[in-house]
Copies of this chain bind each other. A is one copy, B any other.
């Protein structure tokens, strides 16, 4: 259930750009700032601009800029731009390849879960990704309980 690494990077890039929302950022500049290989960042930026999340400016002094205010671009949009879909299961659309009996109850629940997941991802904007915990951010929403807990308690097994 991991995000593709590219989608993960996508949020990092957008978070970085949201730190200076009006500026025009070049691929090489972003690459140097966040420590991801230039061709990879470039690939990502192309995708994000093709999907309308970024505006690209060609030529000398060109680069990329957020197409909207960072508080108006959600993580769901970023993930969807890179991955194409927000869904944990394949049986989330109308047709399902699995040969279960009609009215598969498992599928019904998964659709509900996928819908809720989208809600979660829609609840976080790229402005949130950029906002430092102590300083007050530029956009309206407040992180609330998010900033409270340093979260040193979680211990996750990363293997498979």
Contact of A3 among B1, B131, B155, B159 (CB under 8 A): B1
Q: Does B84 contact A105, Cβ atoms closer than 8 Å?
A: no
Contact of A99 among B7, B35, B84, B93 (CB under 8 A): B35
Q: Does A133 contact B (CB under 8 A)?
A: yes
Q: A1-37: which residues lie under 8 A (CB-CB) from chain B?
A: 1-4, 7-8, 11-12, 15, 34-35
Contact with B along A123-145 (1 / 0, CB 8 A): 11000111111000000000000
For chain A, the count of residues having a C-beta within 8 Å of the partner chain is: 60
What are the residues of chain B within 8 A of A90 when measuring CB–CB? Answer: 2, 8, 158
Q: Report Cα–Cα, A98/B34, bound state, in Å.
A: 9
Q: Does A55 contact B (CB under 8 A)?
A: no
Contact of A2 among B88, B99, B109, B151 (CB under 8 A): B88
Secondary structure dominating the interface of A: loop
Contact of A108 among B133, B154, B155, B156 (CB under 8 A): B133
Q: A144-160: which residues lie under 8 A (CB-CB) from chain B?
A: 146-147, 151-152, 154-160
A86-B1 contact, Cβ under 8 Å, with A105-B15, A120-B120: yes
Q: Does A83 contact B160, Cβ atoms closer than 8 Å?
A: yes
What are the residues of chain B within 8 A of A75 when measuring CB–CB? Answer: 109, 113
What are 16 A-B pairs with beta-carbon distances under 8 A? A1-B79, A2-B90, A3-B89, A12-B100, A15-B105, A75-B113, A83-B160, A94-B151, A94-B152, A103-B132, A105-B130, A108-B133, A108-B146, A109-B124, A111-B154, A116-B120
